[in-house]
A and B are shown apart, each in its own frame.
Chain A
Amino acid sequence: MSRRRISLRQELPLLVWLVLVWGALWQDFSPGNLLFGALLAVLVARIFYLPPVELSGRFNILYAVPFALRFLGRVAAASVEVMYLAAVRGPRVINAVVAVPLRSHQDLMVTATGHVISLIPGSLVVEVDRSTSTLYLHALNVSSPEEVESLRKEVRSIEAGLIRIMGTREELEAIRQEAAA
């Protein structure tokens, strides 16, 4: 298998992340330690070669911060909900397996959406169809078709939020048109 060369620019986010982890683990962000960390990061990235993650090249921090806060809030609210369900409903809980077709066909975007969905308690990715980028979710406490529909809408709005943060320009354009329509 031939190795596709990836540019430093594409690799940079990974290297920066590795250096930050290195600094965090040593609890030392002095220049010398970071330099050594950078050296190790390059070495590790060369030896343990992984297929490059295809980044879209844009990242909007203005959308990212409110998204992160909303995410934390939702995790908190839904954790309490799962706690309530576990204590009160218990064995009589009604679930559903829901198919959600996503807009984006980027691996990174499908993965990110799946992660966010999985982390919000109450939904769990059971299966991913990569060719049609469809997520199959197992959702807790969903008993009517209306609730299935609202879950689907929620997942698609989370995907829209992620596309606004780091989707490609074409996807962003599609979201804008959808919102305008």
Chain B
Amino acid sequence: MNPEASVVDNVIDTVSAVFLVVGALMSLAAAVGLLRFPDLLSRMHAATKPQVLGLFLLLAAIGLQLRSWWVWPVLLVAWIFQLLTVPISAHMVGRAGYRTKHLHRELLSSDELEAVVQKAAQSARDESSRDEASDGGRRD
């Protein structure tokens, strides 16, 4: 073995070791956030986001260690699908959580959605009561 190649190997090994540790740390941060944050919505931040970076670092470390160009597209596709699906799951859980009031209002400094939701609910109520009234009229 010539010394130059082993220097390169060392650098790659070091970089991937750093990536693995930091990536694992990001997943740990997600777990800590899940335990420590007070309500569902802030937990969703911890549960969904730091591990996107964590996964990226872990996949990059795998790519560096396997030393073959053909794994990079698979890893990239895996990460892209993570990027595409994580916001959607976060949005669906967050939306359901907001509507079912799984949040601590006293921890919100401002809420610009509440008024909109109440207005929508009010107009829905008006609509349904109007419908009932007209239905009642027809039945008579």
Q: Are A124 and B26 in contact (CB under 8 A)?
A: no
User: Which one of A8-16, A89-97, A167-175 is at the interface?
Assistant: A89-97
Output the least CB separation between A24 and chain B (Å).
3
Known: A97-B114, A126-B41. A79 touches B29 (CB 8 A): yes
Give the bracket for the number of chain B residues in contact with chain A. Answer: 35 or more
Give the bracket for the number of chain A residues in contact with chain B. Answer: 35 or more
Query: In residues 15-39 of chain B, which contact A (Cβ within 8 Å)?
Result: 25-26, 29, 32-33, 36-38
Q: Are A148 and B110 in contact (CB under 8 A)?
A: yes
Q: Are A127 and B46 in contact (CB under 8 A)?
A: no
Output the least CB separation between A129 and chain B (Å).
7
Check if B77 is an interface residue, CB within 8 A of chain A.
yes
Known: A79-B26, A124-B44, A126-B113. A87 touches B36 (CB 8 A): yes
Known: A86-B36, A124-B44. A79 touches B110 (CB 8 A): no
Give the residue of A87, A93, A119, A143 whose beta carbon is less than 8 angstroms from that of B49: A119
Output the least CB separation between A131 and chain B (Å).
12
Q: Name which of B52, B76, B98, B110 has the most chain A CB atoms within 10 A of its CB.
A: B110
Query: In residues 92-118 of chain A, which contact B (Cβ within 8 Å)?
Result: 92-99, 114-115, 117-118
Interfacial residues, chain A to chain B (CB-CB below 8 A): 20-21, 23-25, 27-29, 72, 75-76, 78-79, 82-83, 85-87, 90-99, 114-115, 117-129, 136, 138, 140, 142-145, 148
Q: Are B33 and A86 in contact (CB under 8 A)?
A: yes
Known: A115-B84, A138-B41. A23 touches B110 (CB 8 A): no
Measured CB to CB, the nearest residue on chain B to A145 is: B110
Q: Are B107 and A118 in contact (CB under 8 A)?
A: no
Q: Are B38 and A93 in contact (CB under 8 A)?
A: yes
Q: Are A119 and B32 in contact (CB under 8 A)?
A: no
Measured CB to CB, the nearest residue on chain A to B68 is: A27
Q: Are A79 and B49 in contact (CB under 8 A)?
A: yes
Q: Are A24 and B113 in contact (CB under 8 A)?
A: no
Known: A86-B36, A140-B45. A126 touches B109 (CB 8 A): no
Output the least CB separation between B25 and chain A (Å).
8
Known: A24-B73, A82-B33. A95 touches B109 (CB 8 A): yes
Check if B133 is an interface residue, CB within 8 A of chain A.
no
Q: Are A86 and B109 in contact (CB under 8 A)?
A: no
Q: Are A99 and B112 in contact (CB under 8 A)?
A: yes
Closest 4 CB pairs of A and B: A118-B87, A121-B49, A86-B33, A24-B73
A136 proximity list for chain B (CB < 8 A): 112-113, 116
Give the residue of B32, B41, B56 whose beta carbon is less than 8 angstroms from that of A124: B41
Q: Are A97 and B49 in contact (CB under 8 A)?
A: no
Q: Are B111 and A96 in contact (CB under 8 A)?
A: yes
Q: Are A25 and B74 in contact (CB under 8 A)?
A: yes
Output the least CB separation between B89 and chain A (Å).
10
Check if B91 is an interface residue, CB within 8 A of chain A.
yes
